[in-house]
Structure 1
Amino acid sequence: MFKKILASVGIGAAKVDTVLQTEHLLPGQEFHAEIVITGGDVPQELSGLELALMTKAKVESDEGSYFRNQVIQQWHLADKTTIQPGEEIRIPFTAQLHSETPVTELPVRMNQTVVWLATGLNIDMALDASDKDHLYIYPNEAVLECMQVMERAGYQMMKADVEKGYISAPGFRSNSGIYQELEYRPNSRSLFGVKEVELSFVPEAHQTHVLIELDRGFRGDGYRSVTIAHTDADIANVRNQLEHLLR
């Protein structure tokens, strides 16, 4: 049973609905959808149909920073076709979310992370996220454990957003063209002079890479990285790894 119409757009007289089994997903998870095209009052030729996974990413420029809608993934659903008045075309669709899909479900008030699906003849980069039904993306076990360790270590998440670009460290590099930053600050004065910590994640099928940016008032910024295998032993060791890197 399909549970949610995620996107509904009009293309001339025809109407296109994208229906997803569930809008609650994990990065890298397989999802199942059905695209329903309903004809209008007259025959209509459709030049093709696309589906895109979208987010809102911060772009840095000489004039300052601003947010723009960014395609993470794009799929071709249908070629050129003619739909007759009242005709209904149903297209079953299965795909896998990009492993670097940003997490939206976070315990932070200033959460600037949104993810949604857009359907159309040509994906318009100016599509307004406020007009779309969002996907609810949850952290995998490794990311969730990192968040919990930061909280237990006395850090509070202050902000989450998505930035346009790539991150890299020895042994890994992101590839989606966007990356998410979780910004933390210590609840009290840090023993090691840390003013702010930013975590970014590059999840893969069997491991998650973590890039840690430390802002120390007297030593400037520094970077650390760690890779967490998706095993019980490695996830149980996240606390030791992170607390050591935060020193």
Structure 2
Amino acid sequence: MSFFNKVLASIGIGSSKVDTKLAKSSYEAGEIIRGEVEIYGGNVEQQIDAIFLTLYTTYIKEVDDHKYTSKAPIEKYRVSEPFVIKPNERKTLPFSFQLPYDMPITVGSTKVWIKTELDIRSGADSEDKDYIDIRPSGIAARLLNEVQNLGFVLRKAECEKASYKYRSKYPFIQEFEYVPVSGPFRGRLDELEIVFLSQTETQVDILMQVDRRARGFGGFLAEALDADESHVRLSVSVDDLPNLSNKLEQTISRYS
């Protein structure tokens, strides 16, 4: 009977299972995430080589004018050393790790989840999947809030495949597309796009695409040639926060 149990466990029947339980489901980028991984022994004793937690997100890829959703790993964490789980035994392993500051936030169609993988020697691996909400870090949230205070409204936000020019450690970038509905840029701009190029606890580097509204024949010609768009890099640190609104307005005005 034991032999047949081992055979069945090798293909996932009666094998060990894993379940990850998080302290909460909503986090700020850069926050410490805590939880427990529960392992339930199956019908036979099994060697567990490792337990991995991997952060994943979704992003949009375009191939031959067709868009489809892909997934990409953000970070991978090992939360255990090798151990043996006995039949019907239950183990609980606590864990904690820090979320990256530059991870995407869950807005629009963007999703983030934690995939738990139980690496079972000579057996079918067990998996678990837990979706989480990610809010922007403190400095990123302040920047996005000041953009709205200037009269912009978020029209669309999504992660999309990054061009080689702007690719960093991730194959995607998260783009925030705003339109001016009030304030100093209403009637002057068609839209403002913001991409976070890098983020730390104390500084963010962004790329802004300032899309000017066409005025007259020359303006329409420039719009047709995409000459009405300006790409502006801007660094914002915690020292800039007291005067951030003025800094953003002056920078955007220079190209509007």
Question: Is the TM-score greater than 0.5?
Answer: yes
- The structure where helix makes up a greater share of residues is 2
The secondary structure found in structure 1 opposite 2:87 is: coil
Aligned residue for 1:164? 161
Quote the Cα distance in structure 2 between the aligned partners of 1:43 and 1:152.
Answer: 60
> Where in structure 2 are the equivalents of 1:2-17 lying within 5 Å?
12=13, 13-17=15-19
Using the alignment, how far apart are the partners of 1:72 and 1:92 within structure 2? 21
Q: For residues 13-57 of structure 1, what are the alpha-carbon distances to aligned partners after superposition, in whole Å with 9 as ceiling and x for unaligned?
A: 322111222222221222222211111233334453321001101
User: CA-atom RMSD, angstroms?
Assistant: 2.7
Percent identity of equivalent pairs: 29
SS of the residue aligned with 1:239?
A: helix
Q: Does 1:244 align with 2:218?
A: no
**Preserved contact between residue 202 and residue 238 of structure 2 (Cα < 8 Å):** yes
1:99 equivalent among 101, 116, 135: 101
CA shift digits 1:178-233 (9 cap, x unpaired): 321111112269467421111122211221112111223443322112211124xx
Query: 1:180 — aligned with what?
Result: 174
Letter in 2 for 1:54: Y
Which position in structure 2 is the counterpart of 1:211?
207
Contact 2:101-2:137 within 8 A present in 1 as well: no
Unaligned 5+ segments in structure 1 are 1-10, 123-130
Contact persistence 1:57–1:161 (CA under 8 A): yes
Q: State the distance in 2 between where 1:191 and 1:48 align.
A: 55
> Hey, what does 1:7 align to over in structure 2?
none
Question: Which residue is 1:55 aligned to?
Answer: 57
2:191 counterpart letter in structure 1: E
Q: Distance in 2 between matches of 1:95 and 1:28?
A: 10
Contact in 2 for aligned 1:142/1:230 (Cα 8 Å) = yes
Cα distance, 1:20–1:100 mapped onto 2, change above 3 Å: same
Determine the C-alpha separation between the residues in 2 that align with 1:99 and 1:168.
21
**Residues 100 and 176 of structure 1 are in contact (CA less than 8 Å); yes or no, is this contact kept in structure 2?**
no
Cα 1:223–1:70 shift into 2, 3 Å: same
Which of 233, 236, 240 pairs up with 1:225? Answer: 233
Q: Which has the larger radius of gyration?
A: 2
2:40 is matched with: 38
Residues 167 and 179 in structure 1, CA contact (< 8 A), matched pair in contact too = no
| Structure 1 Cα separation of the partners of residues 81 and 145 of structure 2 | 46
3-state SS of paired residue (1:235): helix
TM-score by length of 1: 0.77
**Is residue 24–residue 136 contact of structure 1 (8 Å, CA) maintained in 2?**
yes
State how far apart, in whole Å, the 2-side matches of 1:180 and 1:96 are.
20
Deviates more, 1:59-68 or 1:69-78: 59-68
Alignment size in residue pairs: 219
Candidates 151, 155, 161, aligned match of 1:154: 151
